[in-house]
Amino acid sequence: MNYFQDEQTADYNRQRIAEAFHQIRLEQIALQSRVYQPGRFGRLMFNFANWMISTGKQLRKRYEIPTANGQTQSKRFAH
């Protein structure tokens, strides 16, 4: 092979490497921008928090002191 063919081969290899790096960068961007999907622990904590909120609302409704007209006032609790 002569010098010109070596330069063409080297240039071709540089282009292939640059395209591979570009593809890797695009894949990394795509992975970073995907929709968040929680794992098992995240789902468990989310469901636990919702359970605590609903239980707290039920307890509050049960133990608040009702007023004369049937509505409950906030910040008045039975002790």
Predicted confidence (pLDDT) per residue in 31-59, tens digit = 888 788 889 999 999 999 999 999 999 88
Res. 1: pLDDT tops 90? no
Structure token pair of residue 58: 């039920």
Residue 5 and residue 13: Cα distance in Å, rounded?
A: 12
How far is CA 45 from each of CA 9, 27, 50, 51, 67, rounded to the nearest angstrom? Answer: 56, 30, 9, 10, 36
Compare 40 and 61 and report the one with higher pLDDT.
40
Residue 79 and residue 63: Cα distance in Å, rounded?
A: 9
Compare 79 and 13 and report the one with higher pLDDT.
13
Element (H, E) at 15: helix 3-32
For the chain, which residues make up each domain, given as ranges? 1-49
